[in-house]
Amino acid sequence: MTMRKALIALAMLMAASTSALAEDQQPTAAPTAAPQDQWSEFQSPERGFAISFPGTPQTATAPVEGQNPLIQYDFQVGVGDAETYQVVVFEYPAGKAPNPPDPDYFVKLTSAYAKGSESRVRKRGSATIADRAGFEAITDDGKGKLNHLVDIVPAGDRIYMLISAGPKNHATGDDAKRFRDSFRLLGDQPQSASNPPAN
């Protein structure tokens, strides 16, 4: 699966949004296999979120090179060879995150993800996720084998990306929606002042 390349591209774009483009990014953890029916809530109080995964996520932390102390935190579960569920948290230094993000910010992140995952954006626009103004996109690979649901949720000094990928029609299926809809923020994180654009 090419989600790793997509996340590397995203880390680079996140770095560029604060100053210069990052030149390199450490890879994320490899997914672990988990049975479909073992969904349970995972909480990360340190990163300020909770979400249901179909297994225990592997975690990885990597500084975004050239942008210390911008940090990327990854939480990932793979189900067989066909599905992946991942939360990526980009944590900015206090007061340095785009808040509220520029309207083009979400489109740029979505485009970077699509490029890195070798997929095309089929649908994108503003969305409410965990009662917050966010952005959602569906991308498809050129071979019609993988379908991705990507959600972006800004919250204070963090940008959350909820990513699930699987076979054709995955993005509109029950498991992708279950993953997205189970996301919630923990603690006090201020709401962004504006909504992202539909496109």
Q: What is the CATH number of the domain that holds 129?
A: 3.40.1000.10
Q: List, in order, residues 6 or more apart from 48 with CB less than 8 Å away.
A: 89, 155, 158, 185, 186, 187, 189
Per-residue pLDDT for 17 more than 70?
Answer: no
The whole-number pLDDT of residue 63 equals 87
Residue 69 belongs to a domain: yes
Average pLDDT over residues 123-127: 93
Which of 7-11, 138-142, 149-153: highest mean pLDDT? Answer: 149-153
- Give the single-character DSSP code of 171: G
- Give the single-character DSSP code of 196: P
Residue 198 belongs to a domain: no
Domain that residue 44 falls in: 3-185
Q: List, in order, residues 6 or more apart from 143 with CB less than 8 Å away.
A: none
Q: Are 34 and 42 in contact (CB under 8 A)?
A: no
Lowest average pLDDT, out of 7-21, 61-75, 95-109, goes to 7-21
Average pLDDT over residues 56-78: 87
The residue type of 142 is G
The whole-number pLDDT of residue 19 equals 31
Lowest average pLDDT, out of 71-75, 81-85, 115-119, 187-191, goes to 187-191
Question: Of all helices (H) and strands (E), which one includes residue 97?
Answer: none
Distance CA 170, CA 153 (A): 20
The total number of structural domains in the chain stands at 1
Q: What are phi and psi of 13, to 5 degrees?
A: -65, -40
Classify the C-alpha dihedral 162-164-168-170 as positive or negative. Answer: negative
**pTM of full prediction above 0.85:** no
Distance CA 193, CA 139 (A): 27
